[in-house]
Amino acid sequence: AKKSVKIMVLGLEVPDIFADIYDTIQNFKNMPGYSIERIGQRRIGQKQAIGFHLTHKKENDQVIVWVDPHSQLPMHVEFFGANELGQMEPKMIWSDIVFDVELDESLFRFDLAGYEVEEVDSGCVDGLPGIHN
C-alpha cells in the first residue's frame, strides 16, 4: 500500500526555514560528531537533484537529502536508523515535497461535536520551541 505525508510549516516563509541548504550542510560539516558527503546526482521526477549523506557518528543515525540545485530546497529526504540487530533501515521518507501551496483555512478548524477549543500560551515566541518571552 502506498502512503504519503505532506509536511507543512505554517506561518513561516520557506527561506526562513531552509535559508540556504548549502550553508546548512556546511554547518553540519563543522559540527563535531557529524559527517556529511556529497553523493552525486539523481533525477527526481522531471528535475535533477544533488544528494548529500549526513551521519551522526555517535547515534549512527543517517539522513540522505536530495536537493534541487536551482531553488536550493529539499526534494526528497530519507531518514535511517539502526534496528534491534544494529542494521541500518529506513525509518521515515519524505517525498513529493511541495512548498508555498495555498491551503484552505477550513483544514485548520477544530469544530468537533462535544468539544471546544481552548487557547493556551505555550510560552514560545511565534511557536518556535526554546524561544521564550
Which residue has 511557536 as its cell numbers?
A: 127
Instruction: Examine residue 108 and state whether it is found in any structural domain, yes or no.
Output: no
Work out the average pLDDT over 57-79.
88
The whole-model pTM stands at 0.61
Print the domain residue range for 44: 14-100
CATH of the domain at 24: 3.10.450
- pLDDT tens column, 94-115: 998 888 888 888 888 777 788 8
Residue 126 has pLDDT above 70, yes or no: no
Closest CA to 77 of 105, 100, 97, 98: 97
In this prediction, residue 66 carries a pLDDT of 93
Amino acid at 112: L
43 or 130, higher pLDDT: 43
pLDDT for 83-93, tens place per residue? Answer: 889 888 999 99
| DSSP secondary structure code for residue 16 in this structure | H
Question: Within 10 Å of residue 66's Cβ, how many Cβ atoms?
Answer: 22
In a domain, 87, yes or no: yes
Beta bridge partners of 120: none
Number of domains in the chain: 1
User: In the prediction, which pLDDT does 76 show?
Assistant: 93
d(CA 84, CA 74): 30
The more confidently predicted of residues 79 and 131 is 79
Buried b (16+ CB within 10 A) or exposed e, 9-45: eeeeeeeeebeebeebbeebeeeeeeebeeeeeeebe
**Percent over 90 (pLDDT), the chain:** 22
